[in-house]
Structure 1
Amino acid sequence: MRSERLTDRLFRQRSPHGTPVTPFELFFDLVYVFAVTQLGHGLAEHFTVAGAAQTLLLLAAVWWAWMYTSWTTNWFHPDHVAVRLTLVGVMLASLVMAAAIPSAFDGRGLWFAGAYAAIQVGRSLFVAVAARSHPLGPTFQRILAWHSFTAVLWIAGGLADGPAGAVLWTAALALEYAAPWHGYTTPFLGRSHPSEWTIDAEHMAERCRLFMLIVLGESLLVAGATFSGAQPSAGRVAAFLSAFTAAVALWWIYFHRAADAAGERIAASGDPGRLGRSAYTYLHVPVIAGVIVTAVAVKTTIAHPTGTVTAGTACAILGGPLLFLAGHLLFTRAVFGHLSRSRLLALAALAALGLTTAIATPLMLMGGAAAVLLSVAAGELRGGEG
């Protein structure tokens, strides 16, 4: 009985209007501002196929660590001392993980892997013990089992040199990303069903909106810092304005209607756990990746607005908006049940811009991409199809 009363105090009290994000959750996110900055800088310095693949792997790990913590605070109240102390530990490990990002494949792999494993196993252990008398207790026990198993792969990858480490990390992430789809099926412990995951959809939507603001803020910081450190010219001014326009358009597309409406739709659905898993846990990955790649494009374009368009430059300038729009298209399809014509047309327009790379400058491509994003944002403002 005493453990049940403790569990009741640890869990959030649900509200029909959703529970608000607490100041401590905002404080927690500051660590991931640093992580996003590290990912963007790393991609900008190693914008090759191998560098992009490595950044994608690291982004997937960073997102997974943050997302599982957001699911945790969706159930557990971060103002309870035990929960808050656990989150402080996660913050410290997250800071170490973020600090290791630039050298994760070159000398600090064990630091990155050890911090990531500590985040996932430590947090999972806490919730499994705290919720042992709660209906969600078996689910948390299965999650702990999966994270304990993949932690071995993470540590082994951190100890390995060269491609072997990347292979082990990729295998670990593949197992972790697949686990929610099959309900964390575990020998002797059975499996979970999304219908059991009674999430607060409004809270989850707000957490993802805040993370989106983090990555959009990084794009603006990159634009300002690059423009500040470069010799002013007409081309750089135009590139700076294009970058700002693109950032505003990205914000408008994400926040104007779909962000708020999605939380309401998921909360009203018959299976919010399943829909929240698809819409937020998985389909936000390309959305976030698209903004990070766009930040890299902004840096390149402002620094060299009239230079030659290389394959890497074209991939950054057009690939960022492509990833964002494709992810947002899938997100709105999952939540609202329809494919947005405006986003499909925008994807086609970005692909068409790719045919001009032989004659275009980075500024021309950035201006074209910004115009495409602005047209989608304008459709949102007119109240057309989302």
Structure 2
Amino acid sequence: MTFGLAQDVRRPTDSPRADRVTYVELFFDLVFVFALTQLSAYLSENQTPIGVLEGVIMVCALWWAWVSTTWVTNWLDPAKLPVRGAVVALTFVAFVLSVSIAEAFGERAWAFALAYVVLQVGRTGFIVWATLRHDREVSKDFTRVLVWTCASAALWIGGALLPLPWQLPLWIAALGIELLGTLLGFPVPRHGRVLIGAWDLSGPHIAERTALFVLITLGETLLATGFTFVGMESSPESFVAMASAFVATAAAWWIYFDHGERIGSEAIEASDEPGRLARTAYTWVHLAIVAGLVLLSVGDKEALSHPDAQGLTPTLVVLGGPVVFLVGTVIFRRVLGDGWQLSQLAGIGALLVIAITALAGSSDALTLAALAALVLAAVAVGETIARVRRGRRGGG
């Protein structure tokens, strides 16, 4: 066998490096701080149905680019020079992707699409090459993934070269191919499909990597609020909006990290199908969690910039993020076998009642932001009380 990387760069299974998050992975994450800031700004400036659809496409693309890289570094050891070099190269490509977000549906559509394709195809091709000599089954699995990724790549490039009426449907179809491939196991005629449930993964690594991305997204929320606040004249309304944004962000951190983050790695390690559980809990469900936090930052900026705004759009902008975030976290906990969290379900219900009341009455964006922050804080308190009570009974 002459093709394939001669050095074995797979993660060791019998050393502390098996579950460790490396510094080069954190370096890769730094680019996504900027990407999320650009995405938040884009959504704030394009509060139209088309703008929302474009935002959904970019949220999915950014998340898919990041989480797919996380899966690859779960197999390969970033401490090895070839893998480290590959991650640094992918970081540059992700940076190009990030700087193209503002004009992804304009003059830089080609740059966004090309960077995304290079990320997806290049990364998948690298793991095929890196594992071919040392783990043929993994190499075969990612070869199937590569076939689907190349099919999607053609639509990304085609959409970038065509006018906007064609760009949107082609990019939606491109994402659909990748997501459908994950659901079906990337089947290839005469070559079978990927048995994701049988993948032997590092649960602690995936859980920690994803938690760090959630932390980055929370940091972006504070950055967006801070930059918006310093560009305004001080007023009682702006201070209330800033305080509400901080309370909401801190509560979101508490809800995610107080208990739910910890049980993820334990559930994967104990599962008979760790790959399937990790795919559901971290690839799929976390998309809603991250999207909710991005929308939360957009709502915070709306309350700061237009505190008196009323109507359907401000209501959806301000309350949409907290609702999507709580839906994501409650499903995440349920998937991990932690049951339905009553405080989170109550929080979703309270936010929906506030939204209906706002649409029927005349609540402004600032009032809605303050109420949403109070609801998230109440959910965090309820979660902690429930956890402490379970602990006292010996249940957690």
TM range, smaller chain: over 0.9
> Shift of the alpha carbon at 1:2?
9.4
- Which whole-Å deviations, capped at 9, do the CAs of 1:207-228 have from their partners, x for residues lacking one? 1011101110011111111221
Whether the aligned pair in 2 keeps the contact of 1:136 and 1:196 (CA below 8 Å) is no
Indicate the residue corresponding to 2:372 in structure 1.
369
**2:325 counterpart SS class:** helix
TM-score by length of 2: 0.93
**2:336 counterpart SS class:** helix
Higher mean Cα deviation, 128-137 or 109-118?
Answer: 128-137
Indicate the residue corresponding to 1:245 in structure 2.
247
Indicate the residue corresponding to 2:310 in structure 1.
309
Gaps of 5+ in 2: 391-395
Indicate the residue corresponding to 2:36 in structure 1.
36
TM-score by length of 1: 0.95
Indicate the residue corresponding to 1:272 in structure 2.
274
**1:77 counterpart SS class:** coil
Indicate the residue corresponding to 1:380 in structure 2.
383
Gaps of 5+ in 1: none
2-side partners of 1:3 and 1:103: how far apart?
40
Is 1:10 the equivalent of 2:13? no
C-alpha spacing 1:102/1:4, structure 2 compared with 1 (3 Å): closer
What fraction of aligned residue pairs are identical, expressed as a percent?
A: 38
1-side partners of 2:3 and 2:145: how far apart?
21
Whether the aligned pair in 2 keeps the contact of 1:10 and 1:76 (CA below 8 Å) is yes
1-side partners of 2:113 and 2:30: how far apart?
21
**1:336 counterpart SS class:** coil
1:351-366 to structure 2, matched below 5 A, reads 351-357=352-358, 358-366=361-369
1-side partners of 2:3 and 2:104: how far apart?
41
Question: For residue 22 of structure 2, what is the amino acid of its counterpart?
Answer: T
Indicate the residue corresponding to 2:393 in structure 1.
none
2-side partners of 1:16 and 1:279: how far apart?
26
Indicate the residue corresponding to 1:50 in structure 2.
50
**1:188 counterpart SS class:** coil
Higher mean Cα deviation, 356-365 or 26-35?
Answer: 356-365
Indicate the residue corresponding to 2:206 in structure 1.
204
> Shift of the alpha carbon at 1:182?
1.2
Moved segments of 4+, more than 3 Å:
1-7, 15-18, 383-386
Question: For residue 341 of structure 2, what is the amino acid of its counterpart?
Answer: S
**2:215 counterpart SS class:** helix
Q: RMSD of the alignment, in Å?
A: 1.8
Indicate the residue corresponding to 2:220 in structure 1.
218
> Shift of the alpha carbon at 1:65?
0.7
Question: For residue 96 of structure 2, what is the amino acid of its counterpart?
Answer: V
Indicate the residue corresponding to 2:190 in structure 1.
188
- Which whole-Å deviations, capped at 9, do the CAs of 1:165-224 have from their partners, x for residues lacking one? 111110010110111221110123211112332110110000101110111001111111
> Shift of the alpha carbon at 1:356?
2.6
Is 1:346 the equivalent of 2:322? no
> Shift of the alpha carbon at 1:304?
2.8
Is 1:113 the equivalent of 2:116? no
2-side partners of 1:214 and 1:294: how far apart?
14
1-side partners of 2:4 and 2:127: how far apart?
14
Indicate the residue corresponding to 1:299 in structure 2.
301
2-side partners of 1:35 and 1:63: how far apart?
11
1-side partners of 2:250 and 2:89: how far apart?
35
Higher mean Cα deviation, 160-169 or 16-25?
Answer: 16-25
1-side partners of 2:299 and 2:278: how far apart?
31
Indicate the residue corresponding to 2:59 in structure 1.
59
> Shift of the alpha carbon at 1:308?
2.7
> Shift of the alpha carbon at 1:5?
9.4
Question: For residue 169 of structure 1, what is the amino acid of its counterpart?
Answer: W
> Shift of the alpha carbon at 1:346?
0.9
1-side partners of 2:254 and 2:163: how far apart?
43
1:93-112 to structure 2, matched below 5 A, reads 93-112=93-112
- Which whole-Å deviations, capped at 9, do the CAs of 1:32-89 have from their partners, x for residues lacking one? 1111111101001111111111011011011111111000111101121111121122
Indicate the residue corresponding to 1:332 in structure 2.
333
1-side partners of 2:226 and 2:298: how far apart?
13
> Shift of the alpha carbon at 1:380?
2.2
Is 1:23 the equivalent of 2:29? no
Indicate the residue corresponding to 2:166 in structure 1.
164
Q: 2:177 aligns with which of 162, 175, 184?
A: 175
Whether the aligned pair in 2 keeps the contact of 1:94 and 1:115 (CA below 8 Å) is yes
> Shift of the alpha carbon at 1:15?
5.1
Whether the aligned pair in 2 keeps the contact of 1:297 and 1:317 (CA below 8 Å) is yes
Whether the aligned pair in 1 keeps the contact of 2:204 and 2:265 (CA below 8 Å) is yes
Indicate the residue corresponding to 1:92 in structure 2.
92
Higher mean Cα deviation, 290-299 or 187-196?
Answer: 187-196
Question: For residue 352 of structure 1, what is the amino acid of its counterpart?
Answer: V
